[in-house]
Amino acid sequence: MWLKPEEVLLKNALKLWVTEKSNSYFILQRRRRQGDSGGKLSGLLVGALDAVLDSNARVAPFRILHQMPGSQVYWVIACGATVEEIQQHWEWLEQNLLHTLSVFDNKDDVISFVHGKVKGLIAEETRSKLAEQEEDPEKFREALVKFETRFNFPDLEKLVTYYSCCCWKGRVPRQGWIYLSINHLCFYSFLLGKEVKLMIPWADVKRLERTSNTLISEIIRVTTRSKERDFSMFLNIDETFRLMELLADVTIRRLLDNETFELDPPLQEPTQITKKNLEARMQTEYFRACFRLPRVEKLAEIVDCFLWTPYSQCHTAGKLYTSENYICFASKEEGSCNVIIPLQEVVTVEKMEDTSLLPNPIIVGVQSKRVFQFTEVENREHLVEQLSKRLELLRGEKPGCLEKSEVEETVSSDSSGSLEELCTTSTALDSLVNTSSIKKEPRHSLNSEALMALFHLTDTESADSTVGMEEVKKRLWYDHFVEYGRTVSMFRTEKIRKLVAMGIPECLRGELWLVFSDAVTDLAAHPNYYANLVDKSMGRCCMATEEIERDLHRSLPEHPAFQSDTGIAALRRVLTAYAYRNPKIGYCQSMNILTSVLLLYAKEEEAFWLLVAVCERMLPDYFNRRVIGAQVDQAVFEELIKEHLPELAEHVTDLSCLASITLSWFLTLFLSIISLESALNVVDCFFYDGIKVIFQVGLAILDANTQELCSCTDDGQVLIILSRFLDHITNKESPLPQIAQQHVFSDEEPVQQVEISDLIRDSYEKFGDLHVGQIEQMRCRHRIRVLQNLEDTTKQNVLRVVAPDVSFSTEGLGDLYDLFKREHLLSCYWGGNSSAAHHDPSLPYLEQYRINRFQFNSLFCLLSPWTWGAHTDILAQRTFRVLDENADSLIDFKELVSCLDIMYYGDFSEKLRLLYRLHIPPACSDDDTDNLSPLKTTFISSVQPDYFSKSNGEAINYEHQLKKMLEDLVKRKKESTKDLSLMTQREFIQFCKTLYSMFREDPEENNLYQAIATVTTLLLQIGEVGQRIRSSDSMSELHSASSKESEVLTPTDVPDAVFEEVDVGLKNNHPPSQPGEDDWSVSFEQILASLLTEQCLVNFFEKSVAINCKLLHAKTNQYQQRINLTIH
């Protein structure tokens, strides 16, 4: 393969390479191996190195070097794993380059030409690999070349797809091409000599929607924080919009949602994103949502087939889905028949004899002695082979061994914080994984039966009627089990949905919750896991355990089970164990209510796995610090209200007031909203049908109250109406006693009671057409808006903290924040000298975005008023060192703005203090390239005169004036002034160079140069005088020591005592030394006082500098500057 040219100092270092072929410009070499004759020691060394290095680090056995005749410098330009591969590259060089190089006269031209050709070959290979994945490789290759040429992005900006379209500006369309890359939406048009380029980062997109305007019925509108862009005239608008949604969702989640980013490995490698991968990802997400499977499941195959359904004695058409651990079937008719078969339950997968009645049949046998027969299976042989391999792999694993990926699914591998903060470590998890299958006596006794069996409640008044209803339901369920199955792999049909809507019998509730959620599979796969987890987690103290303890007695306090130590202890163990298992979630409010209900109907270990299923599968992203999943579903719910209840949506124009009420419906599954006996029926349906049930029931509640809600005039009335309705939802068929309602509002008007079974039935009849695919698409669309709203909140909080301490306007401060954040994102896009850390929303607002030295240099060049050519980079490095007070190589927005505030709005003293700090340690170091300049040498000796002339030629001695000025300065030192170290001669020279650079192209340039020359000479005199005083003091001290006489000198005993007082810090910190360059120093106060003697210098630093022009320039050029830095 061709390699980016890399310099090699020795072509045959340690005789590790043997030359096979060579000519004037190129050398083909083979790596020496152990079996080579000659060079036995080097052969042994190479063999040992190659054996030690892993497969990723091993050196290719062949390479080609580029050289210039007579030069000792070589460049590696190609390598190969086989003789054939390297020979092909060698022949290409001989045929296409070798004869061409002789026409060049200049050696540098030859090197540039060869390197340019090799880089071009690499780019062409990359394009070909990308193009081969597309339906039309040749066209995609052409589009890729145009994309790279027109937008000049770095190589890491990968093109995903492209379409012909129109971009509208007002009522004027411009025909062109839209390019969708991994980080940007780009548009290019060239008509009538006018070129139009648009680059919209996906991270800036707030909304994507399909809408219309007065001229076009279907357009795609892309909304950012500042603009709206309309695109139309797509050949396939459905495909285009779907891909735009997916790309925006993937990119925004990768950049702005760190929690999801860590949980979803495919998002971590953006360069692997292709159109096919996006479509496959969309299918996988639909597959997981439809069957409510773990996030680790990845869709492997989708096959059209027929399933024999014995209950109806016919073949049902549908699709067969397979993944690593599941076989699933969904009928074409929505809800007609679904089947979920965990491979853990599968006994055999076999092909049957192919007949005309049963073409291409497959039978799948499960442990419950049921056989599933699939017919007309496409590519049957391949499917059976793959399923058989997975079964063998599954059986080869140790029984009961926990898959570590499932534990770490929500655990960040690089989570920061102490053990006490996280309640877990990777070592603890490894230990837990290794011991989960080892049976040992647990230190904590666990409840072996559900709490409802210990604390059974019945309503004595209506016991006979409710018990009779329970028996009827029980018989119906047992009859259903016989025909449809009782395990996870049961036939899930409309009939079972109706049975669930009626309410599951008390004695079967826990069992069916486990089956419907597939928690029973996790329970069987991980024996002793929970007991070991409890032993490891109990007794640890962290924030999660403190919150758990605070909420324990708030969990169903009216139920006897949680008025006893038995129930409270079980609840504590389950919540603590889960917080230990999944520290990313830890513990969130409302988890206690859900877990307490689970414990009522399931054994303690079963309740734990039910909680895992709810938090990690059925309600993803609900239980975390920002409850993003719940916020996204609230946005989906608002859209459903507009679609299904237009009258209500029209009246309640701001649906956010409803969201504040309905959010708790989703977070608690109605458990804290309506009576427990009624809410249990909703939970039954939730475990069977998933989140769509909560949407349906929510819509049914609003639909039942639409007339009253439309007559409301404020949010308080809305709350009263809904609360009254919810308080009067009953369940007369439940054997549980009626428990006091949560919300009671006194009202003289009687309120009609609503039976929960009727409400659920209405929800299915009116809103049952909701399907998983529709909900997932809306979630994808609204997740973008929710994440951007959270980003806006972060920005507002950061500005609120920073604004009081700076003089920037609100608008200017907002623009600075946008530039700061974009600089962080640009590093996420393309890296640079140092790639950026991913956004972590769990940190405090100011720490969520921080930039490193490389990013700061870019912003400094764009925003600082102190930019002067090559000196700018040195000044930026020093400024970064000053701001990075905690030495973690990162600075936040407040630190950047505080620095810019001094540069733009500081007074003379503040600006000079900053400049002074930039030229003393730790800002100034020996590593600075500026210190290597000729001026680093002794400078004082070149300034001999103690006098300098005025313009009229009169020589004036400033010695007495300097004494008086410095004496006054010492007396009035401000206590609030932070002590600054003295500036050495070398540092002072750099300080002078900076001042000279600042005055370039200034209208008062000549006057400023003359003034700074005057001040420099004055300060050099001060430094020399101080140096002489320190020298004389050290000599007198040595003399006193030798004569053993002790004398106490007062300031008046020494000439020019003011210098001694100014430099006392130096005398105390450094031992006396011989006079020299290192003894020369000046203080900040001396420099300040000297500069104050020149009014033009004061005017220069005091004049205001407008930042608006800089901000406008930065917005326009930030992208191009980063592109140039990344490419070069």
Q: What is the pLDDT of residue 1003?
A: 87
Percentage of residues of the chain with pLDDT beyond 70? 78
Q: What is the pLDDT of residue 917?
A: 93
Closest by CA to 229, choosing from 252, 251, 192, 201, is 201
Please compute the mean of the pLDDT values over residues 289-306 and round it to a whole number: 91
| pLDDT band at residue 132 using 50, 70 and 90 as cut-offs | low
Closest by CA to 1079, choosing from 1108, 1053, 1059, 1094, is 1059
| pLDDT band at residue 503 using 50, 70 and 90 as cut-offs | very high
Q: What is the pLDDT of residue 264?
A: 62
Cβ contact 374:361 at 8 Å: yes
Whether residue 123 has pLDDT greater than 80: no
Please compute the mean of the pLDDT values over residues 1008-1017 and round it to a whole number: 92
CA angle centred on 1080, ends 1076 and 1082, rounded to 5°:
180
Q: What is the pLDDT of residue 1070?
A: 40
> What's the full length of the chain, in residues?
1128
Which pLDDT tens digit goes with each residue over 610-645? Answer: 999 999 999 988 888 888 999 999 999 999 999 999
- Of 87-91, 441-445, 832-836, 916-920, minimum mean pLDDT range: 832-836
- Of 165-169, 212-216, 377-381, 768-772, minimum mean pLDDT range: 212-216
How many Å is the Cα radius of gyration of the chain?
A: 38
Q: What is the pLDDT of residue 61?
A: 84
CA quadruple 640, 645, 646, 649: dihedral sign: negative
| pLDDT band at residue 189 using 50, 70 and 90 as cut-offs | very high
754-755/729-730 β-pairing? parallel
Name the 3-class secondary structure at 223: strand
Please compute the mean of the pLDDT values over residues 1090-1108 and round it to a whole number: 90
Please compute the mean of the pLDDT values over residues 531-559 and round it to a whole number: 86
- Tokens matching residue 768: 């049952």
Closest by CA to 908, choosing from 1091, 1046, 726, is 1091
Name the 3-class secondary structure at 337: strand
- Of 30-39, 168-177, 822-831, 951-960, minimum mean pLDDT range: 951-960
- Tokens matching residue 381: 């042989």
- Of 156-170, 369-383, 443-457, minimum mean pLDDT range: 443-457
Per-residue DSSP letter, 562: G
- Of 31-35, 391-395, 525-529, minimum mean pLDDT range: 31-35
Q: What is the pLDDT of residue 391?
A: 92
CA gap 220, 248 in Å, rounded: 14
Number of Cβ within a 10 Å radius of residue 646: 10
CA angle centred on 208, ends 206 and 214, rounded to 5°:
120
| pLDDT band at residue 974 using 50, 70 and 90 as cut-offs | very low
Which amino acid, 681? N
Please compute the mean of the pLDDT values over residues 566-571 and round it to a whole number: 93
CA gap 821, 26 in Å, rounded: 47
Number of Cβ within a 10 Å radius of residue 421: 14
CA quadruple 421, 422, 426, 431: dihedral sign: positive
Q: What is the pLDDT of residue 806?
A: 94
Which pLDDT tens digit goes with each residue over 854-881? Answer: 999 999 999 999 887 778 888 999 999 9
CA gap 837, 777 in Å, rounded: 30
Question: Which residues make Cβ contacts (< 8 Å) with residue 739, sequence separation at least 6?
Answer: 558, 559, 675, 676, 677
Whether residue 606 has pLDDT greater than 50: yes
Closest by CA to 566, choosing from 445, 443, 739, is 445
Supply the mean pLDDT for the chain: 81
CA gap 905, 265 in Å, rounded: 46
Phi/psi for 545 (5° steps) reads -65, -35
Name the 3-class secondary structure at 308: strand
Per-residue DSSP letter, 1069: H
CA gap 496, 889 in Å, rounded: 60
Question: Which residues make Cβ contacts (< 8 Å) with residue 661, sequence separation at least 6?
Answer: 718, 719, 722
Whether residue 530 has pLDDT greater than 50: yes
Range of 950-959, 1078-1087, 1088-1097 with top mean pLDDT:
1088-1097
- Tokens matching residue 616: 């990690």
What's the distance, Cα to Cα, between the start and end of the chain in Å? 23
Whether residue 971 has pLDDT greater than 60: no
Whether residue 1010 has pLDDT greater than 60: yes
Please compute the mean of the pLDDT values over residues 153-173 and round it to a whole number: 88
Residues 270-308 as b/e (b if ≥16 CB within 10 A, e otherwise) read: beebbbeebeebbebbbbbbbbbbbbbbebbbebebbbb
Torsion of Cα atoms, 432 then 438 then 440 then 445, to 10° = 50
Which pLDDT tens digit goes with each residue over 444-467? Answer: 678 778 888 887 665 555 556 667
- Of 136-145, 317-326, 878-887, 1082-1091, minimum mean pLDDT range: 136-145
Which pLDDT tens digit goes with each residue over 91-119? Answer: 888 888 887 787 787 888 888 888 888 87
Which pLDDT tens digit goes with each residue over 803-818? Answer: 999 999 999 999 999 9
Q: What is the pLDDT of residue 105?
A: 77
Q: What is the pLDDT of residue 248?
A: 92
Q: What counts of helices (H) and strands (E) characterise the chain? A: 44, 28
CA gap 848, 831 in Å, rounded: 18
Q: What is the pLDDT of residue 928?
A: 59
